[in-house]
Amino acid sequence: MNLKIIAAFAASTLLMFGGCDAAPKAKPASAAPAAKFDGMALRSGDRVELKFFYAPELNDTQQIMPNGKLSLQLIGDVQAAGKAPGDLAEELKTAYSQHLKYPNVSVIVREMYQRKVYVTGEVIQPGLVDLAGELSPLEAIMNRGGFAMTTAETSSVIVIRHEGDKRVGYKIDLKTAMAGGESANFQLQPQDIVYVPRTAVVNMNNFLEQYVTNMIPQSGFIYTRSTGNSTIGINTAGN
C-alpha cells in the first residue's frame, strides 16, 4: 500500500469519525484489547524462503497467501501466518519426516509486509513509521518530528484500526504522558492510523478567517447606524 493510498484512506476515515454529528465516537484507550506484540510472527503477505539442507530440490521462496497459508510440495497447504519462523520450521520438519529421511528445514523471512503505521494531523512530518517492535502512539509521533505544538490537541489523539470488518477509533490523552504522568499502555498494531486533531481555538480561528475575515472586502467598509441626533460607525478598513 503506497503513501498516497494510505493518505486517502486516512482522510476518508477521519471524515467518518469527525465529519458529522452522526459519526461514531472514539472509544477510551482503556477499551482497547490488551496490548500484544507478536514479535516475529508471520503475517499474510510476508515473503519467506524455505531451505532444505538435504533436499535442495524442495527449496522454495513464497509469499504467504491471504488465507495465511503456504502451498508446499509433498505436503500441500500449511498454515504459516501467526507462527514464528522457528516454530513453523519445526512443524515442517515433522510434516516432511514422512517423506524425507533427513527433513531438516529452515524458514528465512525475506520480506515483511505492511509492518507500518500512518501518523497524520497536527504533527511536524505526517507519514509512515515502521513497526519493527513495540511502539506507542507517542513514540510514533516523535518519530515523525513530534507535535505541531501551537495547533495540536495532545489530550485527544485518536488511533484508528481495523477490528474484523470495522474501523474502530480509540482516544488517547498524550498531554498527561508528556507532562510526566501515567498514560494508557496502548501499543500500536500494523496499519493503525494515529491522528492528532487541532485544538478548538485553532479551529475557531480558521472558521473566523474563512467565513468572516475573508468575506470582508480588502478595502474595508463603514457600517453606520443613526441613533437620534448621533451616528455610531464601525470602520473595518483597519486605518
> 3-36+114-198 adopts what CATH topology?
Outer membrane lipoprotein wza fold like (3.10.560)
Give the span between the Cα atoms of 138 and 122, in whole angstroms.
13
Check if the beta carbon of residue 127 is closer than 8 Å to that of residue 118. Answer: yes
Give the model's confidence band at 162: pLDDT under 50 very low, under 70 low, under 90 confident, else very high.
confident
Tell which residue, 40, 37, 38, 42, has the closest CA to residue 80. 42
Q: Does 47-111 carry CATH code 3.30.1950.10? A: yes
Kindly tell me if the per-residue pLDDT of 232 is higher than 80: no
Give the model's confidence band at 143: pLDDT under 50 very low, under 70 low, under 90 confident, else very high.
very high
Q: Which long-range contacts (CB under 8 A, 24 or more apart) does 126-132 make?
A: 126/7, 127/3, 128/3, 128/6, 131/188, 131/189, 131/190
Give the model's confidence band at 236: pLDDT under 50 very low, under 70 low, under 90 confident, else very high.
very low
Domain boundaries, the chain: 3-36+114-198, 47-111, 203-235
Give the mean model confidence (pLDDT) for residues 121-150: 91
Q: For residue 21, what pLDDT is reported?
A: 43
Give the span between the Cα atoms of 142 and 82, in whole angstroms.
29
The grid coordinates listed for 133 are: 517492535
Burial track 130-168 (b if 16+ CB lie within 10 A, e otherwise): ebeeebbbbebbbbbeebbeebbbbebbbbbbeeeeebb
Tell which residue, 133, 121, 99, has the closest CA to residue 197. 121
Are 3-36+114-198 and 47-111 the same fold in CATH? no
DSSP state of 65: P
Kindly tell me if the per-residue pLDDT of 75 is higher than 90: yes
Kindly tell me if the per-residue pLDDT of 201 is higher than 70: yes
Higher pLDDT, 187 or 40: 187
